[in-house]
Amino acid sequence: MIVSGVVLNGQLRALTPPRAMAVDIDESSFHWHPDLFRMLAFGQVPAAVDWLLIQFLSDTNITKTQNDAETAVYRVLDLATDLDPAFFTLYTIGGNYLSIIRGDRYGALKLVEKGERFRREELPKYPSSFREEVWENPWRVPMILGYLQLLEFQNIPAAREAYLEITKIPRVPIYVRWLAQGMQTARGRIRVARNSVEIIEKWYQDDPVMLAPVVRMRKLLDLAAALYDWNAEFAKRKKRDFAAFRRERGIPERDEFGGEIRLGADGRIDTPTAKEAVFGTTVDLLVRSKDNR
């Protein structure tokens, strides 16, 4: 396997545009066709997938893509899953990486949707031993799809469908199964988003590059929940005295990120931090979301 991988690596590099060899993966616009790639692999498709996996893992570009441009690392992951559609972690780790680190939300969505199609249509055809060992936690795919639709695209019906799909999968942890129950209300969706991000946070405890932005997003979602609750309660008050309400509820002068918590001209409790992005949405958009969408 090692020898064939080295040979394949040399063959592929010989056909890769020279400039792409000297820069990070995103500088290349080269597209491989799966059939051409298989032909060049001379039957060593597993080694070819290993080579693509190395390209993904060695990507040093952690800047966000601009204007929803497609990243080359997405193309690497797309090709790898064309060659080996049963490669579970390429969908989960790859989807999270594209969305969280690279900001390639469309690439993440296409990759995870591909994984979900495989899970629903092809995985049942595989031996139970394979499903239990390689796809031990298949619920992760629809869960990632759910948070992408909810936070990156604000597609509430698609997010609800993805979270409901989790409930159909056997042996799903209870705390994951409960995610689908909160999708009918704006406050519930904030909780679903927050809990989804907290679950993802646990996956990356040993990966500081992934962990830092995930922790920040979880804290922003905590702020969204607090703002939603404060505003819902304050709106019911006959005497709209924010200073008294602040003292009563123990609302700090500033949020965890340094933004001043204040009463806006529109009568809503707000903070500049609410304009910060949580994936493709903002805290403010989540807080102002309506029920039953």
Q: Domain coordinates of the chain in residue numbers? A: 1-84
Q: What is the pLDDT of residue 44?
A: 57
Q: What is the pLDDT of residue 10?
A: 42
Residues 103 and 109 sit within 8 Å (Cβ to Cβ): no
Pairing of strands 269-270, 262-263: antiparallel
Residue 278 tokens, joined: 């949580």
Residues 184 and 174 sit within 8 Å (Cβ to Cβ): no
Residue type for 273, please?
T
Q: What is the pLDDT of residue 289?
A: 80
Residues near 201 by beta carbon (within 8 Å), at least 6 away in sequence = 211, 214, 215, 218
Q: What are phi and psi of 260, to 5 degrees?
A: -75, 125
Q: What is the pLDDT of residue 45?
A: 55
Length of the chain in residues, anyone? 293
Q: What is the pLDDT of residue 24?
A: 47
Q: Chunked in runs of 10, what are the mean pLDDT values of the chain (293 residues)?
A: 37 37 45 56 57 67 85 89 91 95 95 98 96 95 96 93 95 90 90 94 94 94 95 91 96 96 94 86 84 62
276: helix, strand or coil:
coil
Largest CA distance in the chain: 77
> Can you say whether residue 281 is alpha, beta or left, with left for phi > 0 and alpha for psi between -120 and 50 degrees?
beta
- What single DSSP character describes residue 126? S
